[in-house]
Each structure stands twice: as C-alpha cells, then as structure tokens.
Structure 1
C-alpha cells in the first residue's frame, strides 16, 4: 500500500501542509519537527511521487545530451565525464546519438529542462522550441544564438608547435581530418598553420589528410607522410585515435618514437598516459571540459540573467615520453 503525505501527517500528529514543507526542506518548519517528520516518513517507507512533484514545479531535472557518436574514444570519455559531473547535481542526463530531429522528439517526450548539443558542423539547425541549450563547438564558426563552450583548438595547436620548437624541431607535420564541414577539425588545421607561421616555419608546413578521425585513418596517413622528400622530425596528430594509428605505423616501419620522430597529440584524456609510448598531448583536460559544459547548462536553466555567449577554455600541454629533441641535435 502506498504511503501518502496525509498518512505521515496522521502518525506524526501534524498538518498535511507541515509534512509537505518538511519533506521539501522548508525553513518555515522547526528543525525538531522536521526531524520527527522525516523519521516517521522513513519508518513508514514513504517514497515521493516524483512525477507529481515535477508537474507542480514544471521541471523534470533532466537534461538531454545530443551527441554525434560514441564510437571515438575521446567522445565516449567526454560523455562519461559529463555523466559523472551531473552526479554532483540534482540533474540526470539522457543521451541520444540519433539524428537531431529524432533526438528532439525523444527529449520532448522526457520534457527535458535543457539540452547539450555537440556542434560538429558549421551550423546548428536544431529547433529547440525555447529549451535552454549549450553547444560544445567552435566560436566564430557557428552562427548561433546559444552559448558555446569552446575548447580553443587553435591555442592547443600553438602549444603543441611551441613545445616541439623549444625541443629543436623545425620540420613539424600535421596529420588530421581536413573536413571543411567540421568546424572543430578546421580550427585545428588553421591553428597549426598559424603557429608554424608565428615561428617562421612557413616553408615547413606539411599537412597530411587522414580522411577520417579513427585509428586506421592515422595509420594509413602515416605511410603518405613517410614518403615525403623531407621526412618531418615531429608530427602533431589531430586526435587521440589518429595519433594511436600514427604511433603503430611508425613502430611497424622501425621508426623509433621519440628518437627518430616525436609525436604530440591533440586531445587531453587519461588514456594518453597508457599508450604504447605515453603520449605528449595538448588540449583542455576532459574532466575540466565536462565540468564546464555541465555548469554552463545548469546556469542557463536556473539563472534569470543572460550568461556569456562564448566560454573559451584554456588548454594545457602534458609532456610525456613521445617527444624529445630531433635526431640531428642528439
């Protein structure tokens, strides 16, 4: 038999409204009375009717996450960290990897309070129908009226190139996905080019298209890179998966890392430390990125004030065993 608030009020010897206030932690109820009511409720096995509570509050405490794929390790890691970040809040998360229209239908059924959208393309065309939205994407690339969390890919490339230049490298290649429809990938390439020009290395700019973001794409692109007349002494990989493929291809060709060629990878996830050669990486740490995304969507939902439209995060470079001086100065 379901225990109701009226049942608790009868046993506790207080009014129905007092029980309701106590269960909602109202300051209008004396602490001694509140403890008594909570004790009675627990002993009677009371479970709140969340659906009714949500109906009264017109709030579900559910946030939808619209994600393109969880096949790539970095995205799966970021989703996991976002989920963990929600555990410290009153909100729950539902994830959809469906097409935007299908995801929106799902989120409407759950009456989500807000949405997180991954902005891989240059434009966000999802009709949100007044649902608060935060986008993980690239500011300046998306024509969007929604707040954007920008992981600052350009600054990451600057840090990667600078690290290699300080080690003595001049022939630094970039292997990554050249997709004009993917703003995140485009900014990495642009950031690499800008950094190389900053260090007066224009003539050494070498960009190899991996034609994808997966391990095998990096693996096959490395063969093309090794056929260059002037083999680079360092490579910047456009993603964790691409860099893993680069590393394996070099090892199979008998190229030592970092003795012959150094590697820096974009992305900053814990798995970098456990690769066959622990990988030097540049990017916003995945836990920091996840916490900022969660904080921003909750702020968007709960704050009456307009929040800043762009939050550009600061990347870090973590140095590991995959980078060292170029062979000519050893």
Structure 2
C-alpha cells in the first residue's frame, strides 16, 4: 500500500499543510517540527509526487541546460559544477547535449518549455533565426554560461574576456622568444570560443610585427582528434613552429599525442599551450600549460544568477566577466 502525505502528517502529529511546507522548504515551520516531519518521511519511505508538488508550488524545481558537447573536458567539468550548484539550491537539471546541431537545440528548448522548467542555461552561442525567435519570445528565465547571446536576445551571461585571454597568452609566448607560433582554433561561428580567441591571437602577432603564417593556422571542433589531425598538417610544413597554442585543452592534448607519435619531444622540439585549465592538464606528460578560466565559478555564478531571476529578482549586471590567468607547466619553454 502506497504511503501518502496524510500518513506522514498522522505519524508526525502535524497537519497536512505543515508537511507540505516542509516538502516545499517553506517558511514558518519550527526547526524541531521540521525534524519530526523529516523523520516521519524517512520512516515511512515516503516519496513525494513531484507533479502534484509543482501544481501546488507553481514550480518544477527543474533547470534545463543546453550543452554543445558534454564529451569535451570543458563542458563536462562546467556541467558538473552547474549540477552541484543547482542541487545545493534544491534544483535538478535536465541536459540537452546538442553536439552543435541547431535542430536539436530548438527541439530541446521546446521540450524544456513544455516541461515548464523554472530556468534555462545555454552553453552555446550559434543560433539560427528559429532559435533566435524562440528565445526572443521565451518568458522562462535564461542565462548564457561561458557564451554570449547576440544583441537581439536579452539574456545575462557569465564568461571571461576570450579575446583578451588569447591575446595575453600569445603576448607571453612572444615574451619568451617565440615567433613561430601556430594556432589551433575553434569554430569561428562561435564568437567567444572561436572568433574572439582567434582575434586575440592575431592582435598579439600584429602588435609584435610578426607575420601570420597561414600554414600554421587551422580550426577544429574542440576534440582530441581535431588537435591530432591539425598537428599532422603543422608537422608537414617546411618549417616547424616553436610553439602551438590550442584554444582547448582537449585539442592541445591531441596535438601532444601527435607530436609524440612523430618521435618529437614537448617542449624540447615544440612547446604546447592549451586553453581552459581543465583537469586533463595535470594528467598528461609533460603537464600542459594552459590558460585558466574559472570553470567552477562560471558554473556556480550562472546558477546563482538564474535562481535570482526565477525568484523574480533582477540579475544585476547583464554580463559578468571573470578573470583569467596563464598557468605555466612543463609543456612550455623559453627560447631566451
């Protein structure tokens, strides 16, 4: 026989409304009464009906997350911190892993709306006119995480200054005596991770009077295999770069594997720098120098801002820009 809220109220010796307030983390419940009700729930193995609760509270306690590709180190790490922050605030997450498929993104957004999620986090920038129109008409609180919406979509965002981060990294490489600097970029249709990081690379080279060698510039999709394949093309050029800067740690590790497979050494023959400072940087040998962005803070702040909006508060600022820094490890050497 299934246990219902009346059984919990009877065992705890309280009213049904008191049990309901405890279940919905409501106010005006004395701490000692809350403990008694929680003990009764545990003793009876009572599992609340989430649909019924949402009808009463007008909330589902669900957050929908659109991720570009959770197989990459950056997205999986960020998603983990989003889930942790959501859980601490009694929210569960639903993940739409779109793998850069805009039709899938639109489908997931529609599903999230139908399921009446309380809020949406989007970790992706590319959009077509259908997604743009959908987001413009959407009333569900929405935050862009490590991504920026285009000007027609009025949503707050949390990220770093990607162009400045890339510029600072390449400028540092130049200060170490590197002038033959190869670049493994991301899809330039993505402004932050693609276009802006490439622009930062170009700006640093131009300021230093270094010509851009087209043979040393290639673009991938943030995967290990992309880094490996692109590094193959660099190794076939007449003159090798002294350092390779990849805009994701996964692509940098792919490049590292390719270099090793060609019996070359990092950093003796070619230095290597990644981007994100994800956990993979410490697991490879040599350890990977990487541009650190505060992944945990990005995920947590995205959730914090979203919950403010869900509760009817102002998100505060439209764009949160967090700090970055280069973390040097043994994959980079000075030529001076």
Whether these two folds match at TM > 0.5 is yes
Structure 1, 28-37 or 113-122: larger mean CA deviation: 28-37
- CA displacement at 1:119 relative to structure 2: 2.4
Matched residue, 1:58: 58
8 A Cα contact 2:282 2:288, kept in partner: yes
- CA displacement at 1:202 relative to structure 2: 3.2
Following the alignment from structure 1 to structure 2, what is the Cα–Cα distance between the partners of residues 22 and 215? Answer: 48
Structure 1, 307-316 or 28-37: larger mean CA deviation: 28-37
Does residue 108 (structure 1) correspond to residue 116 (structure 2)? The answer is no
- CA displacement at 1:301 relative to structure 2: 1.5
Shift in alpha-carbon separation, 1:40–1:313, aligned structure 2, 3 A: closer
Does residue 181 (structure 1) correspond to residue 186 (structure 2)? The answer is no
Following the alignment from structure 2 to structure 1, what is the Cα–Cα distance between the partners of residues 37 and 22? Answer: 7
- CA displacement at 1:309 relative to structure 2: 1.6
Following the alignment from structure 2 to structure 1, what is the Cα–Cα distance between the partners of residues 276 and 255? Answer: 15
Q: In the TM superposition, what whole-angstrom CA distance separates every residue of 1:209-265 from its partner, at most 9, and x where no partner exists? A: 144432232223223323445432111012222212211222233332111221111
8 A Cα contact 1:215 1:245, kept in partner: yes
SS at 1:74's partner residue? Answer: helix
Matched residue, 1:236: 245
8 A Cα contact 1:65 1:115, kept in partner: yes
8 A Cα contact 1:156 1:266, kept in partner: no
- Structure 2 unaligned segments of length 5 or more: list them: 99-103
User: Among residues 120, 123, 137, which one is paired with 2:125 in the alignment?
Assistant: 120
Shift in alpha-carbon separation, 1:228–1:63, aligned structure 2, 3 A: same
Number of residue-to-residue matches in the alignment: 325
User: Among residues 303, 317, 323, which one is paired with 1:294 in the alignment?
Assistant: 303
Following the alignment from structure 1 to structure 2, what is the Cα–Cα distance between the partners of residues 112 and 58? Answer: 10
Matched residue, 1:67: 67
Matched residue, 1:307: 316
SS at 1:127's partner residue? Answer: helix
Matched residue, 1:85: 85
SS at 2:268's partner residue? Answer: coil
Q: In the TM superposition, what whole-angstrom CA distance separates every residue of 1:42-64 from its partner, at most 9, and x where no partner exists? A: 54554434322221110011000
Task: Say which one has the larger Rg.
Answer: 1
- CA displacement at 1:12 relative to structure 2: 5.5
Matched residue, 2:266: 257
SS at 1:202's partner residue? Answer: coil
Relative to the length of structure 2, the TM-score reads: 0.83
Shift in alpha-carbon separation, 1:201–1:250, aligned structure 2, 3 A: farther
Structure 1, 89-98 or 115-124: larger mean CA deviation: 115-124
Matched residue, 2:157: 148
Structure 1, 107-116 or 8-17: larger mean CA deviation: 8-17
Matched residue, 1:203: 211
Following the alignment from structure 1 to structure 2, what is the Cα–Cα distance between the partners of residues 288 and 244? Answer: 24
Following the alignment from structure 2 to structure 1, what is the Cα–Cα distance between the partners of residues 204 and 143? Answer: 29
